[in-house]
């Protein structure tokens, strides 16, 4: 059977190897499905072999911890499940339609931009109230689902109390970082 048509299964979720919707340094994100209720989900598969040093593992653990803490917060990507095997960590979350960078390319009216900003600020306040710093907030990490903003990709997020410990690491997307 052709590898591109293979479906992978992790617990009660599955995804097709040809259903990639995003890629990162150590991960791929797939359009998947909860096989128990047929709900569409996003499945982020992190290849643990690609996490070459301690800071990469710390950031992965931090991302999962932050997503769990922010579960059920408005305008934050909803985490459904996390699984770890010998080779991979799987982060199962809600599936979104698009991201803000694509919406901006097509143009936004003043009303649309204002509605987006209100939701972004509401999401930001939800993690700021929990003393979480995102550290990579950019249009590509602001997802959209049925017109609702969902802040995503907490891979560089940390708690305020841990910020001093990690200040020697420069993280984020250079074009969006403060000077």
Question: What is the band of 176 on the pLDDT scale with cuts at 50, 70, 90?
Answer: confident
* % of the chain beyond a pLDDT of 90: 72
pLDDT of residue 21: 94
* Residue of 136, 146, 153, 162 marked active site: 136
Top-tier CATH class for 3-176: mainly alpha
In the residue annotation, 131 being an active-site residue is answered as no
Instruction: Note the residue count of the chain.
Output: 179
pLDDT of residue 3: 53
pLDDT in tens, 62-107: 899 999 999 999 999 999 999 999 999 999 999 999 999 998 998 9
Residue 156 near residue 134, CB atoms below 8 Å: yes
List the beta bridge partners of residue 52: none
pLDDT of residue 24: 83
pTM of this prediction?
A: 0.88
Give the H or E element holding residue 23: strand 13-23
pLDDT in tens, 4-43: 578 999 999 999 999 999 988 889 999 999 999 999 999 9
Residues 6+ apart with CB under 8 A from 20: 28, 29, 30
Question: What is the band of 1 on the pLDDT scale with cuts at 50, 70, 90?
Answer: very low
Which value, in Å, is the radius of gyration of the alpha carbons in the chain? 17
């Amino acid at each position: 059977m052709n590898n591109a048509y293979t479906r992978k299964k992790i617990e009660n979720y599955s995804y097709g190897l040809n259903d990639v919707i995003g890629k990162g340094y150590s991960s791929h994100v797939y359009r998947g499905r909860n096989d128990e209720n047929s709900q569409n989900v996003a499945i982020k598969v992190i290849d643990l072999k690609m996490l070459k040093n301690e800071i990469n593992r710390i950031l992965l653990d931090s991302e999962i911890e932050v997503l769990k803490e922010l579960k059920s917060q408005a305008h934050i990507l909803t985490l459904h499940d996390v699984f770890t095997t010998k080779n991979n960590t799987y982060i199962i979350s809600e599936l979104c339609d698009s991201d803000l960078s694509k919406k901006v390319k097509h143009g936004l009216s003043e009303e649309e931009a204002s509605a987006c900003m209100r939701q972004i600020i509401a999401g930001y306040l939800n993690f700021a109230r929990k003393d979480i710093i995102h550290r990579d907030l950019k249009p590509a990490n602001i997802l959209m689902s049925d017109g609702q903003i969902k802040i995503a990709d907490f891979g560089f997020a940390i708690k305020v109390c841990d910020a001093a410990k990690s200040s020697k690491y420069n993280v984020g997307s250079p074009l969006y970082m403060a000077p």
